A and B are shown apart, each in its own frame.
Chain A
């Protein structure tokens, strides 16, 4: 059974970089079929897609975050990572990693991590 687990600091100072890693177990990142993604959730904005990446490194970013976000993959470790720079209080959220499956005219998330709360505060 596929499992995704987020890890990283729970507290980040304003203007610094938020870095998270997602470890995938029970399956491989090496798939032409799936993408791997980060999604965050806050009371203010609800669920918000951040970025997606294929095992070969093709990336997609949410336009609103594009200038501050980098997603990367390390297939040898079965992990993918998120970096969000110049964080502010508005970036405080629960961050989820997820698997993204194709759906014809759209894609859907079919597996989720349990989430990790990241607070931006000095």
Chain B
């Protein structure tokens, strides 16, 4: 089955950039073609779809997602980059593919 691995936590300063990583099945190359989605979950809120990231690094964002959010890929890793960090970006970020979710990364904006 598909396993999505995320670091439990990350932090960066207000105005800086941060890159979050989602690794498909511990780097096994057979999963290198999978697309994933990134979702943001602010405290006490439901998940919000941010974007889909394809294996070639292209990404398609959801409605109203700021340009500060972008996606990319390398092998079995899928990335979410947030630039010009704002306080409202402090949230949990989950990657997902089909019926599988990563454990989430808690982002703290310092």
Using CB atoms and an 8 Å cutoff, list the residues of chain A in contact with chain B: 1, 46-49, 52, 60, 62, 94, 96, 101, 103-115
Contacts and interface: CB of A to CB of B under 8 A. Distances in A.
Contact of B33 (A94, A105, A112, A113): A105
B37 interface: yes
Contact of B36 (A47, A60, A108): A108
Contacts of A96: 46-47
B103 interface: yes
A62 B2 CA distance: 13
Looking at chain A's contact residues, is the secondary structure mostly helix, strand, loop, or mixed?
strand
Interface of B: 2, 33-37, 39, 45-49, 52, 54-55, 62-63, 94, 96-101, 103-104
A92 B87 CA distance: 31
Which residue among B55, B62, B63, B98 has the maximum number of chain A CB atoms within 10 Å of its CB?
A: B98
Nearest to B94: A47
Given A46-B103, A46-B104, A107 B98 contact: yes
A62 B100 CA distance: 10
Contacts of A110: 37, 49, 52, 62
A108 B52 contact: yes
Contact of A111 (B49, B54, B100): B49
Contact of B101 (A47, A101, A107): A47
B35 A1 contact: no
Given A49-B98, A106-B35, 16 more contacts: A47-B94, A47-B101, A96-B46, A103-B37, A104-B33, A104-B35, A105-B34, A105-B35, A106-B34, A106-B98, A107-B98, A108-B49, A109-B37, A109-B39, A112-B39, A114-B45
Contact of B99 (A49, A105, A112): A49
Nearest to A111: B49
Contacts of B2: 106
A106 B101 contact: no
Given A109-B39, A113-B46, A46 B101 contact: yes
B56 to A, nearest CB: 11
9 contacts: A47-B47, A47-B94, A105-B34, A106-B34, A108-B36, A109-B39, A110-B62, A112-B39, A115-B46
